[in-house]
Amino acid sequence: MDYMNGPGRHHLFVPGPVNIPEPVIRAMNRNNEDYRAPAIPALTKSLLEDVKKIFKTTTGTPFMIPTTGTGAWESALTNTLSPGDKVISFLIGQFSLLWIDQQKRLGFDVDVIESEWGKGADLEAMGSKLAADTAHNIKAICIVHNETATGVTNNLATVRRVLDHYNHPALLLVDGVSSICALDFRMDEWGIDVALTGSQKALSLPTGMGIVCASPKALEASKTAKSVRVFFDWNDYLKFYKMGSYWPYTPSIQLLYGLKAALELIFEEGLDNVIARHARLGKATRLAVDAWGLKNCTQGEEWFSDTVTAVVVPPHIDSNEIVKRAWKRYNMSLGLGLNKVAGKVFRIGHLGHLNELQLLGCLAGVEMILKDVGYPIKLGSGVAAAAAYLQNSTPMIPSRI
C-alpha cells in the first residue's frame, strides 16, 4: 500500500514545514478566544515588537497575516507597486519561478534575469540594467534570499551595494521564507524595503501565518501604489494599529500563542546562536554528501545554504525513488526534486528547532536508503564525517537577546 503508519516517530526532514517543538504545541493547545477582548490586542502588540527582532529592524513595520508565503508575496507586491511597473526578478529555481509567475499575473512588467539552476542571482546583469536605467523606470528588485529547490542562498548585502553604487531608488523586495530565523538577515543594515517569511519554516510553527515587514520607504510607496488589494492591504492593518485593536479581521488565536512560544525559544537560545547552529548543521550535511561521493546541486561555495541541501544523484538513479523509499520503509520525509531537477536531486531540510543528533539520525537513514536503491555507499561514511565535524566545532553558548 502507498500509505501506512510506520512504527516510531515520523522523521521530517523537508525544507518546510518543519518539526514543531513541544512547547509550541502546548502553547497552541487552547480554546478560541474573543480577539476583541483585551488579551489578544495586548499579545499582538508584544508580538509585533518581538518579530521586528528576527528581521533585525528597528524602523520596519510588521504585519502578521493569516496566510502562507504565497500570500505574503502578494502582500509585498500589491502594497508597493502599480500595474505596469517594471521590476527585475531573478529566476534561480522553482520558488523564484513561482514568484515571477505571480508578478506577471498581477500585471507588472517583469524583467527576468535567469541563472542556471544551482547558481545564485546574476548580480552583474542586474548592475548593467540599473546602469542603463537613467530614468529610474525600474521600480523594484525582487529576489529570493534562499531558494529551497536548489539549496542556493543569495548575498543580499551585495545586492544592496549594487543598488547604492548606481544610486538607484528601486525598492528591494526579499523572500526570506526559508532564511529568516535561520540565516543571517539584516533588514535595516542591508536596506531591504519589504521582507517576508512563513510560519512553517525556521519559526517551527504550523503553516498559516505570513509575516511581512515593511520599511518606511515601502510604507510611503504604499500610499501611491495602485494595485488592487483587499485582504492584504497594509492600510487596513495600520488603521487598526492606531485604534489599538490590531486586527482588521479574525486572526488565528492558536498561531499567535504558538508564535509567542516559538520566539521565546529563539530568544532564549539567542538569535545569533540559532543562525550559528544552522551554519554548523548545514556544513555537517555537506560533509556527509562529500563522504558519500555525491555532488551538491549548489554550484559554488558562496551560495551554499545552511537550511537545505539538494543532493544530486547519479543518472541511473531516480531521486523520486529515494524519497518514496524514505517514506515507505523508514517513516522519514525528504524533499523531492522540483521542476528542472525533478528525479535528479533529493533535498535534506535542516532548519528549525533541530539539533545534531536529529541530523545524524537523518543522515544515517539516507545512507540506508542509498544502499537500498543500489548506490555503492559505505554505511556510516557520511555520518562519521558529519559527527567528526560537529564534535570538534564548538556551538555558541545560548544567551538571551
| Annotated binding-site residue numbers for substrate | 347
Sign, CA dihedral 271-274-276-278, equals negative
In 56-117, which ranges are continuous DSSP H helix?
A: 69-78, 94-105
DSSP readout, 334-353? EBPP-GGGTTTEEEEE--SS
**Rounded distance between C-alpha atoms, residue 375 and residue 324, angstroms:** 16
Strands 345-349 and 308-312, by their bridges, are: antiparallel
Burial class (CB in 10 A: 0-12, 13-18, 19+), 315: exposed
**Rounded distance between C-alpha atoms, residue 175 and residue 381, angstroms:** 35
Count other C-beta atoms under 10 Å from residue 291's C-beta.
Answer: 20
DSSP tag of 119: B
Strands 295-296 and 86-91, by their bridges, are: unpaired
Burial class (CB in 10 A: 0-12, 13-18, 19+), 27: buried
Q: Which residues contact 127 (CB under 8 A, 6 or more apart)?
A: 162, 165, 166
Q: Bridge-partner residues for 365, per DSSP? A: none
User: Any idea of the CA torsion for 89, 91, 94, 95, to the nearest 10 degrees?
Assistant: -20
CB 145 within 8 A of CB 120: no
Q: Residues at the annotated binding site? A: 347
Strands 152-153 and 146-147, by their bridges, are: antiparallel
DSSP readout, 148-201? TTTTEE--HHHHHHHHHHTT---EEEEE-TTTTTTS---TTTTT-SEEEEETTT
Strands 308-312 and 295-296, by their bridges, are: antiparallel
Q: Bridge-partner residues for 64, per DSSP? A: 211
C-alpha grid cell, residue 330: 523508514
